[in-house]
Chain A
Amino acid sequence: MAAIEIKNLWKEYGQDVVLERLNAKVEEGEFVTVVGASGCGKTTFLKMMLGTESPTRGQLLLDGKPIPDEPDETRGIVFQRYSVLPHLTAVENVMLAGELESSRWLGRVFGGKRRALREQAEEMLASVGLDQALGKYPHELSGGMQQRLALAQALIKKPRILLLDEPFGALDPGIRRDMHELVLDLWRKQDLTVFMITHDLAEGFFLGTRMWVFDKERLDPQTPGSYGARITYDLPVGNSDKGTLQSITQSVDSTARVLGA
């Protein structure tokens, strides 16, 4: 059975159709990159996966059951920003998940248990290259380091599904490439199912196992809200040629122009 099954999924806000007739199956361990024009509903899709928005029609199944309609530990997330807690140091941010789990009331642990959690957290931070920043607060870290920290914090919880909403959108291209390497590396080691939204089409082409393009098949320039976006391309990563990239780019660009107008 597929880990995630999307069956005829619709999302509408009042009159505006954002997503329509989405159908897909995602297996455990896949890495899906999601690309598409700004405003076409990528974040909305991720919110439905997360449980903070619910579908207006259709079903979104996790292991055959409707996905819980509030966030929980099965689905980890890294946002573009505000993902880490500003009042905790880097190592405290990463220890948090363990503390919350072992102490339902206090949310804090002490003594030997704390040392064990700290050790794990330090290991995790080392694996994202933050071993020099253990005691620093997020505001003392650069944007890239904050996102690494957010990754470490989400991954130590070992979520079934990791959702990434343009986590590196605000970073320099060079650093972004490093971060992609890091994510791919962690994904291979941890056996996660990943959904990652990115703005950069070419990037999506080379990351992970599968790329989805969200785009509006039908587009009414006067009322762009009357039709929703669908998954117009569902490509295995690695065996795509230049022509496909070009035609996707063209189609996404023209949608972007209408949505941006």
Chain B
Amino acid sequence: MKKLINRQAGPVGRWALGLLPFVILAVLYLVASDARLDANPNDKLLPSLSSFSDAIERMAFEPSKRSGEYTLLVDTLASLQRLGIGVAISALIGLVVGIATGSLPLFRAGISPLVTGMSLVPPLAILPILFIIFGLGELAKVMLIIIGITPFLIRDLQQRAEEIPTEQIIKMQTLGANTWQIITRLVWPQIMPRLLSSVRLSLGSAWLFLIAAEAIAATEGLGYRIFLVRRYLAMDVILPYVAWITFLAFALDFALKRYSQWRYPWFHGAQ
């Protein structure tokens, strides 16, 4: 038999091995839930499958009694809109500033210290300041995402821009390019796929900031809902919401990855 370090799972085996922990967790949950519900039918901590499906039915597929809207849909759209605007603006700022500081030494000298300083400020610590300045509306929540992930994006993209081989920058000049053309025809196109991967990395933090902001001040949104029903210990709502957020995060990441592979084959082929 081969050494353990050299043994690989086959295609079926890989799926089976990957699913195994999920199955184990699900079984453990069901057993624990049953045991607790046996002892106390009103237990709220580990709801049964049927209460999950009731809750999902109520949140996702029936209009709410008070507003007549589908709660899950409203929450999802509100959250995705905030996330989308926040991440898009951050990506734009990251792209412009990152390219400028990464390819123009004079810009780097002027701006990098500021960005480094800003990236050290814990964003959640300035959340109250944001609420004071921007009020409790949408702007404050979007701003938190922007302040939270933009310094990372700028620094990451600056580094990516600096990594472009000097040979290529020299090459562009010998082909007659001016600074603007070097940026638009060399740096920018080469940074775009890297922007996508930085955005993928920063999405985790973006969700964190979004949910934190919604938990504190919002009238709808996935984070808002979770923190609202927490008061009633409504695990039957919270857990499906968490699973739904996880799924959304996964889907966004997957879509960005696929888009990048389709749009920038040279980037993924050369790696």
Contacts and interface: CB of A to CB of B under 8 A. Distances in A.
Interface of A: 50, 52, 70-73, 75-77, 79, 81-87, 96-97, 99-101, 104-108, 137-140, 153-154, 157, 159
Contact of B178 (A52, A104, A153): A104
Contacts of B131: none
Interface residues of B, number: 25
A230 B168 CA distance: 30
Contacts of B173: 70-73
A33 B144 CA distance: 61
A110 to B, nearest CB: 15
A137 B174 contact: no
A100 B181 contact: yes
Interface in B217-234: none
Interface stretch (B12-20, B185-193, B203-211, B249-257): B185-193
B175 interface: yes
B176 A73 contact: yes
B39 interface: no
Nearest to A139: B270
B170 A157 contact: no
B68 interface: no
B84 interface: no
Given A82-B165, A139-B269, A154 B174 contact: yes
Contacts of B172: 85, 100
Interface in B155-181: 165, 167-168, 170-178, 180-181
A83 B176 contact: no
A79 B172 CA distance: 13
Contact of A77 (B165, B171, B270): B171
B178 A82 contact: no
B265 interface: yes
Interface of B: 165, 167-168, 170-178, 180-181, 184-186, 189-190, 264-267, 269-270
A72 B180 contact: no
Contacts of A82: 165, 167-168
Contacts of B184: 106-107
Given A79-B167, A85-B186, A100-B181, A72 B266 contact: no
A52 B190 CA distance: 23
Given A97-B175, A104-B178, A87 B170 contact: no
From A84, A87, A101, residue with most partner B Cβ within 10 Å:
A87
A107 B168 contact: no
Contact of B266 (A97, A139, A154): A139
26 contacts: A70-B173, A71-B174, A72-B174, A73-B174, A73-B175, A73-B176, A77-B171, A79-B171, A81-B167, A82-B168, A83-B167, A84-B171, A86-B190, A86-B266, A86-B267, A87-B190, A96-B175, A97-B175, A97-B176, A100-B172, A101-B176, A107-B177, A107-B185, A137-B265, A153-B175, A157-B175
A138 to B, nearest CB: 8
B168 A159 contact: no
B266 A87 contact: yes
